[in-house]
Chains A and B, each alone.
Chain A
Amino acid sequence: MIAAPKRTDIHPKERRMILKHADDPSYDTSVDCYIEHGGYETLKKALTLKPEDVHDHVMKAGIRGRGGAGFPAGMKWKFLDRKSGKPIYLICNADESEPGTFKDRQIMHKDPHQLIEGMMIAAYATNTAKAFIYIREEMPHGAVILEQAIEEARAKGFVGDKIGGSDYSCDIVVHRGAAAYICGEETGLIESLEGKRAYPRIKPPYFPAALGLYMCPTIVNNVETLCHVVHAVSMGGEEYAKIGTPNNSGTRIWSLSGHVQRPGYYELENGKHTYGDLIYEIGGGLKPGRQLLAVIPGGSSSKVWRAGERFKGKDRGGNEYDWAIEDVPLNFDGPMTAGSMSGSGAVIVVDDSVDIVDVLANINAFYAHESCGQCTPCREGSLWMKKITSRMTSGHARPEDVDLLASIGDQIAGRTICAHGEACAWPTQSFVAKFRDKFLERAERQAASGSGDIRLI
């Protein structure tokens, strides 16, 4: 087995909470090592509290989902249908598959017990009957590490029957996906876990909190989110909420990739830094002699920012803002204010060594490949967008392609069962809107890609 490499260059601006021990060379994935570092103490503490008090800590902590939507975890739990009398299920979404994202990989490969402890605390707080970890197929070693960690935790009484000597019992099952992006969508994931094609379900009525796995109330939380539960309960919800900034509490692991000198994962206090800090200071900036072309702020489905653009207006608090990309706060709300989203925390930096049409063609190929095929607008539209941008990169771009692409995107978003419709439309809509001149120029040049050093399609 090839161990996940440890990072030795932890940036001084980082505030490591979730990844506190992950890159310590002497830290391993055994339960003994975790316990030596104070592990499972929070679960023991939680078991002395009433489940609703544990839930209250998570509410007060204001933990927002780290998987993409940024929805408050405590609120998600509150929606659970407890009157139905059906068993409650907890699913950890470990399908980490939004292009640009590689943070959950670090947690699962380097500190699996933190996730397990978070899951058991969440399970106790919600009276979960059984918990699952849905891990993507492309992390086979991660699945083995998790299974082994669960086995060890079970032997110590932290998972399974009568955990920590309490009356509460809950087991965790590791389930492996099979390379389908759509399984990161919670209702698609649930279908997949039921042994079916991962066709997302329509909401309403199929909100997992009411009609989830086997039509039972179900919580689906991301890996990083569940780890934050440990810290919220350990330090108390109110104390936890002091970390970060209002409505953006805690830390967040940002995945930085693309054309930067020091790509990698960086855990930062929410809202205390900007995209400029991440890209230029922490990430080492662009490669020598290169200019910034674009920033994709929250996974490849988030709307793109063009270098040099400014975001002006009044935020919800009535405060005026006038930001360059570099000024946008690195938290949940900042990128939304700037017309995009933080998504899964995946920042992809693109410099001027590549053509923007090629970048979109690469992204469109991804979303066309990953459409589940259930809804016509997404199945057909994602393929059309892929074909058009591919053709544009092969030297056959037409001026009318710009409006055609925009029109296809507009006809997908909002017309599908799940958010894959938006995920595939937003890149095209935003690229075409922000780089209209570059797309038109491509039509004028009629140039095929591939002359440069780097191919994207």
Chain B
Amino acid sequence: MAFEPSQPLRDYTEKVIPRYPQKRSAIMMILHAIQREQGYISLEAQEWVAAQVEIEPIQVREVVTFYPFYREHPVGKKYIRVCRTLSCALNGGYKVCDKFLSEFGTKLNETSPDGRVTVEFAECLAACGTAPVAMIDDDLYENLTEEQVKELCDAIKRDVPEQAPAPSAESTHH
């Protein structure tokens, strides 16, 4: 199925490409916009990006598959990243991760059965002074305790409707 870019995506792409001396430089920003809108970056979307910046689709895919943040498969409605790296781990980061997983009855790098969340470990989120930390979509949560994680999970269960889990839940980079 061909990728049908939305009007905002077309507008954004038109705006972002001329910011750079060379078109190809705009790839990452366009990929961000697609993933934000679609939840992931399909092969068809990658072909569309390639056409916009006038390179081969494989050159876009090289980028998509290199950077941990880009994914080629859908994830849960909320994307949870728990920092795994040293300062967070020293302050209970693994426990925070376990709590997210048990609250949603899911496993690391998988989408929960209710389709609400995908929980992953992230490497250092640059907030080590307030460890342990996690990101839920764009938002950073600091100094997390298991109680706070429970509250965050309760809020997600309250606010996000259940949905069928994504067909291929595992993200690309593990």
Shortest CB-to-CB span from B159 to chain A, Å, is 16
* Known contacts A105-B126, A180-B68; A300/B28 CB under 8 A: no
B127 part of interface (Cβ distance < 8 Å) = yes
Can you name 23 A-B residue pairings with CB atoms under 8 Å? A97-B123, A98-B124, A99-B85, A100-B86, A101-B128, A137-B32, A137-B67, A138-B125, A139-B126, A140-B138, A177-B67, A179-B69, A180-B67, A181-B123, A194-B22, A195-B55, A257-B128, A258-B91, A263-B128, A346-B128, A359-B86, A362-B89, A454-B90
Interface residues of B in 74-109 (CB under 8 A from A): 81, 84-87, 89-92, 94-95
Contacts of A175 in B (CB 8 A): 25, 28-29
Inter-chain CA distance A3–B22, complex, in Å, is: 34
Contacts of A140 in B (CB 8 A): 138
Shortest CB-to-CB span from B150 to chain A, Å, is 19
Contacts of B124 in A (CB 8 A): 97-101, 181, 366
Inter-chain CA distance A104–B125, complex, in Å, is: 12
Binary A-proximity of B125-144 (CB < 8 A = 1, otherwise 0) = 11111110001001110100
Pair B87/A178 contact, Cβ less than 8 Å: no
B73 part of interface (Cβ distance < 8 Å) = no
B27 part of interface (Cβ distance < 8 Å) = yes
Shortest CB-to-CB span from A219 to chain B, Å, is 16
Closest residue of B by beta carbon distance from A199: B66
Contacts of B68 in A (CB 8 A): 178-180
Closest residue of A by beta carbon distance from B131: A257
A47 part of interface (Cβ distance < 8 Å) = no
Pick the residue among A214, A259, A359 that contacts B21 (CB under 8 A). Answer: A214
Pick the residue among A100, A138, A365 that contacts B135 (CB under 8 A). Answer: A138
A363 part of interface (Cβ distance < 8 Å) = yes
A197 part of interface (Cβ distance < 8 Å) = yes
* Known contacts A138-B135, A178-B28, A346-B128; A366/B123 CB under 8 A: yes
Pair B129/A136 contact, Cβ less than 8 Å: no
Pair A256/B28 contact, Cβ less than 8 Å: no
Shortest CB-to-CB span from A354 to chain B, Å, is 7
- Name the 10 nearest CB pairs between A and B, nearest first: A178-B67, A257-B128, A195-B24, A179-B69, A257-B87, A178-B69, A195-B27, A455-B94, A197-B66, A99-B124
B158 part of interface (Cβ distance < 8 Å) = no
Binary B-proximity of A91-106 (CB < 8 A = 1, otherwise 0) = 0000011111110110
A198 part of interface (Cβ distance < 8 Å) = yes
* Known contacts A195-B53, A197-B63; A265/B28 CB under 8 A: no
Shortest CB-to-CB span from A287 to chain B, Å, is 10
* Known contacts A96-B126, A263-B128; A194/B25 CB under 8 A: yes
Shortest CB-to-CB span from B90 to chain A, Å, is 5
B70 part of interface (Cβ distance < 8 Å) = yes
Interface residues of A in 119-160 (CB under 8 A from B): 130, 136-141
Contacts of B129 in A (CB 8 A): 102, 255-257, 263-265
Contacts of B20 in A (CB 8 A): 173
Shortest CB-to-CB span from A31 to chain B, Å, is 21
Pair A179/B126 contact, Cβ less than 8 Å: no
Pair A455/B87 contact, Cβ less than 8 Å: no
Inter-chain CA distance A350–B26, complex, in Å, is: 42
B122 part of interface (Cβ distance < 8 Å) = yes
B117 part of interface (Cβ distance < 8 Å) = no
Contacts of B135 in A (CB 8 A): 138
Contacts of A264 in B (CB 8 A): 129
B62 part of interface (Cβ distance < 8 Å) = yes
Contacts of B87 in A (CB 8 A): 99-100, 257-258, 263, 348
Pair A102/B84 contact, Cβ less than 8 Å: no
Pair B128/A255 contact, Cβ less than 8 Å: yes
Pair B126/A195 contact, Cβ less than 8 Å: no
Contacts of A180 in B (CB 8 A): 66-68
Inter-chain CA distance A202–B120, complex, in Å, is: 33
Inter-chain CA distance A136–B28, complex, in Å, is: 12
Contacts of B55 in A (CB 8 A): 195
Pair B128/A100 contact, Cβ less than 8 Å: yes
Inter-chain CA distance A69–B148, complex, in Å, is: 38
* Known contacts A178-B32, A178-B69; A130/B21 CB under 8 A: yes
Inter-chain CA distance A238–B69, complex, in Å, is: 44
A5 part of interface (Cβ distance < 8 Å) = yes
Binary A-proximity of B1-44 (CB < 8 A = 1, otherwise 0) = 00000000000000000011110111111011000000000000
Inter-chain CA distance A366–B67, complex, in Å, is: 15
* Known contacts A178-B69, A195-B27, A265-B129; A99/B63 CB under 8 A: no
Contacts of A130 in B (CB 8 A): 21
Shortest CB-to-CB span from B87 to chain A, Å, is 4
Pair A102/B123 contact, Cβ less than 8 Å: no
Pair B31/A300 contact, Cβ less than 8 Å: no
Shortest CB-to-CB span from B92 to chain A, Å, is 6
A20 part of interface (Cβ distance < 8 Å) = no
Pick the residue among B21, B62, B131 that contacts A196 (CB under 8 A). Answer: B62
* Known contacts A99-B124, A456-B94; A195/B26 CB under 8 A: yes
Contacts of A173 in B (CB 8 A): 19-20
Inter-chain CA distance A341–B43, complex, in Å, is: 44
| Known A193-B25, A196-B62, A366-B84; further 17 A-B contacts with Cβ < 8 A | A99-B86, A102-B128, A137-B69, A175-B29, A176-B32, A178-B68, A179-B69, A180-B66, A195-B26, A195-B63, A255-B129, A265-B129, A348-B90, A350-B90, A354-B90, A454-B90, A456-B90
Interface residues of A in 352-379 (CB under 8 A from B): 354, 359, 362-363, 365-366, 369-370, 372
* Known contacts A181-B123, A263-B131; A214/B22 CB under 8 A: yes
Contacts of B92 in A (CB 8 A): 454
Inter-chain CA distance A218–B8, complex, in Å, is: 33
